[in-house]
Chains A and B, each alone.
Chain A
Amino acid sequence: MSPYRIGGGIAALVLAVLLVVVTLQWLSSTDLVWPTVSVRPQAQSNSTSSGTVGQSAAGAASAQSSAMAILAERAELQTDTNKKPPSGENESLVFQPGVPNGESIARGWLQAPPDQQLLTPPREVSGLSSLPYRNAERLEQPQGRDWRAGRNVPLRFGGSWLIFGVGLALALFLFARGRVRIVEGRSGETVPRFSAIERANHWMTASAFVIMALTGLVILYGRPVLLPLIGENGLGQIAWWSTWLHVSAAVPFVLGVIIMVVLWLRENLITRLDLAWLRRFGGFLNDDPRKPSARRFNAGQKLVFWGVLLGGIATLASGVTLMLPFNWFGYDGMQWAQLMHAVVALLLIALIIGHIYIGTVGMEGAVDAMWSGRVDRNWAKEHHDLWYASIEREQHRRPSQPAAPAE
C-alpha cells in the first residue's frame, strides 16, 4: 500500500473521530439563550388575575430589581417613544402600575410559558436615549436572540461538520483510490502551463485567503474552542490580531480575484465539455489514460474559479457591510450580513480544501503547474488534451521554443 493511501486512512480516522465529537456536542447543545433577567413561575400564575400584575409590579418597581418592572417600563417607553421627548417632567415615561399598554404587554410576557421566547418576533422595543448613537434606543430586538442562537449552534456546528466532512470524504477517497497518477508515467519533458504573473497572482490570492480563513475561524470559533484552552487574555490578543489581519487581507484577496478575472475569465466560460467532464468525474476514479477532454481549465477548476469569484463578491459585500456597521442596515440587516458572510466563507473554505487536495497530494504532477509553471507532457496530455494539442500546434508553428527537459 502506498504511503499516500496509508496517510489517507490515518487522516480519515482522525477526521471521523472529530466528526463524532462535533455531532455529539451538536446534539447536546441548546439553541435557546435565556436572558439574565429571570421571571419566576409564581409571578406568572399570580398575573392571571386582574389587578395582580399592578400590585406585583408596584412592589417590584420600588425595589428596582423585578423583571416585571423592567419589562413593563420598557413597554411604556416603546409606547411613548414617538409621542413625547424624555424629560424630568414627563411622568408617563416612568412605569406606573395600571397603565393599560404597559400592563398588558408585561402580562403577555410573564404569562408566556418558560420554554417560549419572552418576546414575540418581530416585535421590537425601542426607547429614548441621550447617547449620540441611534442604536442605543433599541432596547429589545427579538431577532437578535434568533441570530445569536443560529450563530452559536447551527452555524458553528454546521460549519465544523462541513469542513471535517469534506476532509473526511477526501481522506477516504485517497485511502480507497490512492493518488491520481500520470498513467503513462512522467515523460521527462515539460511544457509551460502558467506564466510568472499568473503564478504570483495565484499565490498572493491564496496567501490572503488562507489568512482570512484562519482568522475568520478564530473569530467564529474562538470563544467555544480557544477560550477554555488559552484564557481570556490569550483569546483577546489572538482575536484582536485576527480581526485586523482578516480585514486587511481582504485587500490582496480582492485584488487577486480581479486580476484572475482579467487573466482567466474567457477560459473559464462553461461549455458542453464541462458536463462530459463532470459526468465522468474527470476520470479520477480509475487509471484509464483516456480522461475526459478539457481545454486549459477543466470543469473542476472552473467550479473553483466561479466559486471564488461569486463567493468573493458575496463575502466582500457582506464583509464591507460588517466593517461599516449600521451604515446601510440596522440591527436586522447587520445580523443577516454576518450570517451570510460566515455561511459563504465556510462553503468557500470547503471548496478550497478540495482545490488544495487535488492540487497537491490528490494528483501526481498537479502542483508543478503553480510551483514551477511547467507541467509534464504526459500530465498535460492526460488531463488537458485539447489544451495540450493547442500547445503542440503553437510549438510546431514556432519551432524556436521547444519543450524543456524536466528539471
Chain B
Amino acid sequence: MSSFIVGLGIAVLLIVGTIFVYNQSYITSVADVDMPGVHVSDQ
C-alpha cells in the first residue's frame, strides 16, 4: 500500500516537473527565435 502511494507520488511529481520544465524551456526557446523578418518584440 505505502509503496503504491510512493510510486504513484513519484510518477506525479515527475510528470508535473516535466510539464513545468518543458513550459519554461519552450517559452525561452520562443523568445530566442530570430528568424529573418520575425522579431518577438514586434509581436
Contacts and interface: CB of A to CB of B under 8 A. Distances in A.
Q: Do A and B associate with each other?
A: yes
Contacts, number: 66
Contacts of A200: 3-4, 6-7, 10
Interface string A187-215: 00000000010011111111110010000
B19 A203 contact: no
Contact of A252 (B2, B14, B19): B14
A252 B14 CA distance: 6
Interface string B2-43: 111011101110111111001000000000000110100000
Interface SS of chain A: helix
Nearest to B10: A204
B35 A132 contact: yes
Contact of A204 (B11, B22, B36, B38): B11
Contacts of A206: 7
A206 B12 CA distance: 12
A342 interface: no
B8 A204 contact: yes
Nearest to A373: B3
Interface SS of chain B: helix
A203 B8 contact: yes
B34 to A, nearest CB: 11
B4 to A, nearest CB: 5
B3 A196 contact: yes
A346 to B, nearest CB: 22
A203 B3 contact: yes
A37 interface: no
Interface of B: 1-4, 6-8, 10-12, 14-19, 22, 35-36, 38
Given A207-B8, A207-B12, A252-B10, 16 more contacts: A199-B4, A200-B4, A203-B4, A204-B6, A204-B8, A204-B10, A204-B11, A205-B11, A208-B14, A208-B15, A211-B11, A248-B19, A248-B22, A251-B18, A371-B4, A372-B1
